[in-house]
Amino acid sequence: MSGQLQVASDDGAERCTFCPRDAAGPCASCRRPVCGDCCTLTEGGVKTWAICLDCDRKKGSSLAGPWAGFGMFLVLILVVLAGAVALLAWLGG
Ligand SMILES: [Zn+2]
Ligand SMILES: [Zn+2]
């Protein structure tokens, strides 16, 4: 992953990954520096996490991904079961 466009310059001030402003802190997920405007604050128990826009988007799509795969898996099992039942009925009859 080469998403970092700007490496921290030698003056020590890190830039936000998404805009030219100074970064407020690192993303809790990917550790890229983000400013206050380019991150989403997520309440995670006692701590508040700053998640960058990229990770926030990925998290949203990754929630749908596994569930869609799980649904396909269930459908596949049902098809296989139906095929097995049909086969047994054909063999028995
Ligand atoms: Zn920013
Ligand atoms: Zn991130």
32-77: pLDDT as tens digits: 999 999 998 877 677 777 889 998 888 755 555 667 778 889 999 9
Rounded to 10 degrees, what is the CA torsion of 74, 75, 80, 86?
A: 130
Is residue 55 exposed (0-12), middle (13-18) or buried (19+ Cβ within 10 Å)?
A: buried
- How far apart CA 51 and CA 27 sit, in angstroms, is 5
Q: How confident is the model at residue 16 (pLDDT cuts 50, 70, 90)?
A: very high
Task: List the shell of residues around ion ligand 1, using CB closer than 5 Å.
Answer: 16, 18-19, 21, 35, 38
Computed over every residue of the chain, the mean pLDDT equals 82
**What was the pLDDT predicted at 52?**
92
**What was the pLDDT predicted at 60?**
59
Question: What residues does each domain of the chain span?
Answer: 25-92
Q: How confident is the model at residue 1 (pLDDT cuts 50, 70, 90)?
A: low
Distance 33 CA to ligand 1 centre (A): 9
